[in-house]
A and B are shown apart, each in its own frame.
Chain A
Amino acid sequence: MSEFTPTIGIEVHVEVKSKSKLFSNSANTYGMATNTAVNVIDLGYPGTLPTINKEVIRQGIRACKVLNCDITRKMHFDRKNYFYPDNPKNYQITQNRTPIGRNGYVEIEVDGIKKKIEIEEMHIEEDTCKSAHRGSVSLLDFNRAGVPLIEIVTKPCISNSKEAMAYLTKLKELLFYANISDCKMEEGSMRCDSNVSISKDDTFGTKTEIKNISSIHNVGLAIEYEIKRQEEMLNNGEIIREETRRFDDKQGKTILMRVKETGNDYRYFIEPDIPYLELTDEFINDSLSTLPLLPDELREKYSKVGLSSLQIEKLINNRPLNGYFLGLLSYKTNYVTAVNLLLSDISSYLNKHNKVVTDTHLSYEKLVSVIEALETGDLSNKNVKDLIDSLMETDKTLDELKKEFNIENITDDTFIKNIIIKVIDNNPDSVNDYKNGHDRALKYLMGQVMKETKGTVNPKLANDMLISLLNK
């Protein structure tokens, strides 16, 4: 075990979801043609004036709630001054002295141990333009300039790469679910910098900053590499310099970058073009009223209605389906069957047709009637597969569709009994397995009955009869 203790702090930038940019009314969008989601404010033309987007402040308030931060009631924006072609104003409008949120936390669990990762502050700022480097030139696209960002800074309280990855995973889940950001690291809507230092005692060692790490997995690798690099340096009697590095995932190591201004060199001062803001209780409460249930709240709610943890996680990972299921909870039905349907036949249909469930004709009433029919055996799983397109694409009721598709499951006792006897006679091994307590054998035998009848018998009736005959 190493004699050094690592200390890690993480800074995350997420692009905030809104229609327009933070200080201008050009579109906050991804993927438009180069330099077309732009106006004179984004380009930093002299004489232009920034105005604050109300929705971004609302999103900031929601982020404070989700990340358990105190909301700053009275705040202003600041200018962070630096010369760099990605920002032609030569300053970035950010929040230095009055960040919208302070003193928050995100709870993580690593190897069964829970820990609160403390958030020092969270501030709103504008993004810079996007630059691509080509040999001796850089190419600038201002579509990203002025896109609203929230920067979330933790205290130096993270102890290892596992905690860092757990924190980022949880942060991403929370911000995505609260509809604050898409959090797509591959598209740059979530970006991560890590500060790493090591020390033999309670004092902090000299930190290095690793910028723009492109995935949560790479954050873990970059931190592990950096801890090892610093340990080797100190063991060799070398001095660690405060510097900015980047992680090269192909080489699996961190590399020294050019050092830009830091600290006082940014010459922060209050942005004089924007009046200070005072958030009222009414504005805060109104902003929070649209906040959806968060993953941990959903987990608790869903386990109470009997869903398995696997079902819960699958549902939470599919936000449109989850939203639909939440609405279903105001109906009395079998929720486990509902989720099974949503995650199987309904999901297959949606994926195949590239649709979301709210774009279809699957009303809650119709879904509840399908679940009831499955429960009573009036409908088999095979029937659902046959009907799925019509259930999703038409307003016809289940009864109407059953008539149209000529679905009437056989309920003739004698017929079903004869089939079951035949299946029992042909599968003596499975019968023995069932009698020895193997429940899977029952499912297999039931499958054989459905196969023999091409799925036309009432499944509930057949299942009850099979158990009864097996137990004789």
Chain B
Amino acid sequence: MDKLSREEVLHVAHLARISLTEEEIEKFRGELKVLMDDIDKIKDVKDFDDGMIYTPIEDNTRLREDVVGEMLSARAATINAPKKNGSFIEVPVMINE
């Protein structure tokens, strides 16, 4: 199979929370397949699970001491939020039961 199915592309789009036009769906059916084939090649690498393959660092236990540092004010913490409500950041409702 040289292309992903339409449903597979739509599923990936849903996970990324984006909507696609019909042309884009068709385009990504081919492009995503190429990408997935490349990922499969990585999976074939021997000893993929060996820790050394993803970190070359020798000293493996560098940990931060449990000390509290500087923190932001509520104003600074919310300064880039598109919408605020008092000191809270306001977003569209998250639950849908």
Binding site for B on A (CB under 8 A): 18-20, 25-27, 33-40, 43, 51-57, 74, 76, 81, 83-86, 97, 131-133, 135-142, 246, 255-258, 261, 265, 267, 270, 272, 275-280, 283
CB distance from B20 to the nearest CB of A (A): 16
Look across to chain B and name the residue whose beta carbon is closest to the beta carbon of A274. Answer: B55
In the complex, A19 Cα to B70 Cα: how many Å?
13
Contact A33 B89 (CB under 8 A): no
Contact B90 A35 (CB under 8 A): no
In the bound complex, residues from chain B placing their C-beta under 8 Å from that of A276 are 51, 54-55, 57, 60
CB distance from A51 to the nearest CB of B (A): 4
Interface residue ranges of B23-51 to A (CB < 8 Å): 49, 51
The interface on chain B, measured as residues whose beta carbon lies within 8 A of the other chain's beta carbons, has a size of 38
In the bound complex, residues from chain A placing their C-beta under 8 Å from that of B62 are 275
Look across to chain A and name the residue whose beta carbon is closest to the beta carbon of B96. Answer: A258
Instruction: Check: B85 CB closer than 8 A to any chain A CB.
Output: yes
User: Known interface pairs A26-B71, A35-B77, A139-B89. Does A54 touch B66 (Cβ–Cβ under 8 Å)?
Assistant: yes
Contact A20 B68 (CB under 8 A): yes
In the complex, A181 Cα to B60 Cα: how many Å?
27
CB distance from A54 to the nearest CB of B (A): 4
Instruction: Check: B1 CB closer than 8 A to any chain A CB.
Output: no
Interface residue ranges of B4-22 to A (CB < 8 Å): 15-17
In the bound complex, residues from chain B placing their C-beta under 8 Å from that of A20 are 64, 66-69
In the complex, A93 Cα to B79 Cα: how many Å?
25
Q: List 10 interface pairs A-B (beta carbons < 8 Å), by A numbering.
A: A25-B69, A26-B69, A35-B77, A38-B71, A54-B64, A76-B51, A83-B15, A255-B97, A261-B15, A277-B60
Specify the main secondary structure of chain A where it touches its partner.
loop
Contact B91 A85 (CB under 8 A): yes
Q: Which listed residue (B77, B86, B96, B97) contacts A36, Cβ 8 A?
A: B77
In the bound complex, residues from chain B placing their C-beta under 8 Å from that of A246 are 97
CB distance from A26 to the nearest CB of B (A): 5
In the bound complex, residues from chain B placing their C-beta under 8 Å from that of A138 are 90-95
Look across to chain B and name the residue whose beta carbon is closest to the beta carbon of A98. Answer: B51
Contact B95 A133 (CB under 8 A): yes
In the complex, A411 Cα to B59 Cα: how many Å?
74
Listed from nearest, the 9 A-B pairs whose CB atoms lie closest are A25-B69, A55-B66, A54-B63, A139-B88, A34-B87, A278-B60, A51-B64, A140-B89, A85-B91
Contact B93 A136 (CB under 8 A): yes
